[in-house]
């Protein structure tokens, strides 16, 4: 009898143009006021990829061959004096695939990719009430570098915008 692996195969790869519909679906399915500052997407939906959101900036997570999450790694600005920094501008994992290390794997590849691109810092913004994401980032070496108190009013509650970063 062939040996069965208990660990599902997790693969992280760069996105392709053909991932557009799947990633758009992941984005819609994972929307929540815990992390989103934009209102819940409504049809007709904006395209997932455009001139500023290109497949090359996305890491895709596949579990047993199925796309279950993504991370967007981008330049914080187009300024030459800011080119040594990369920023995580989106991270989402489908609910049914959570708690299995998918986001941690995406983050680790993002750190490697930041290094490979010659940048020296990786930053991100997270809502103050997003405890799962904050715990994940802290456990991967990110520290809080600034807080905009009560920056957003979401679902009737004021929520902090928390800036985190780490060297790579």
Ligand X SMILES: CC(C)(COP(=O)(O)OP(=O)(O)OC[C@H]1O[C@@H](n2cnc3c(N)ncnc32)[C@H](O)[C@@H]1OP(=O)(O)O)[C@@H](O)C(=O)NCCC(=O)NCCS
Spatial separation of the C-alpha atoms in residues 19 and 60, rounded to whole Å: 9
Read out DSSP for 84-106? TEEEEEEEEE-GGGTTSSHHHHH
Stretch that binds ligand X, among 12-20, 90-98, 110-118, 151-159 (CB under 6 A): 90-98
Site track 96-135 with ligand X (rule: CB under 6 A), x = hit: --xxxxxxx---------------------x---xxxx-x
The alpha helices in 20-85, defined as continuous H runs, are 20-29
Site membership for ligand X, residue 166 (CB under 6 A): no
Output the CA angle 112-117-120, nearest 5 degrees: 75
**Least spacing, CB of residue 146 vs ligand X, in Å:** 15
| Angle 147-152-155 from CA coordinates, rounded to 5° | 135
Using rule CB under 6 A, residue 63 touches ligand X: no
The answer to whether 60 contacts ligand X (rule: CB under 6 A) is no
Residue numbers at the binding site for ligand X (CB under 6 A): 30, 32, 34-35, 91-93, 98-104, 126, 130-133, 135-136, 139
């Amino acid at each position: 009898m062939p040996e069965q692996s208990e660990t599902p195969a997790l693969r992280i790869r760069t996105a392709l143009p053909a991932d557009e519909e799947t990633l758009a679906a992941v984005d819609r399915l994972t929307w929540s006021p815990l992390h989103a500052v934009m209102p819940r997407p409504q049809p007709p939906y904006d395209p997932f990829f455009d001139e500023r959101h290109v497949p090359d900036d996305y890491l895709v997570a596949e579990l047993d061959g199925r796309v279950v999450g993504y991370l967007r790694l981008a330049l914080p600005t187009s300024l030459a004096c800011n080119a040594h920094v990369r920023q995580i501008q989106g991270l989402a994992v489908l609910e049914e695939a959570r708690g299995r290390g998918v986001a941690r794997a995406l983050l680790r590849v993002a750190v490697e990719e930041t290094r490979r691109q010659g940048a020296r810092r990786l930053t991100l913004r997270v809502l103050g009430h997003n405890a799962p994401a904050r715990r994940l980032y802290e456990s991967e070496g990110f520290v809080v570098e600034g807080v905009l108190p009560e920056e957003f009013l979401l679902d009737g509650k004021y929520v902090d915008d928390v800036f985190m970063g780490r060297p790579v």
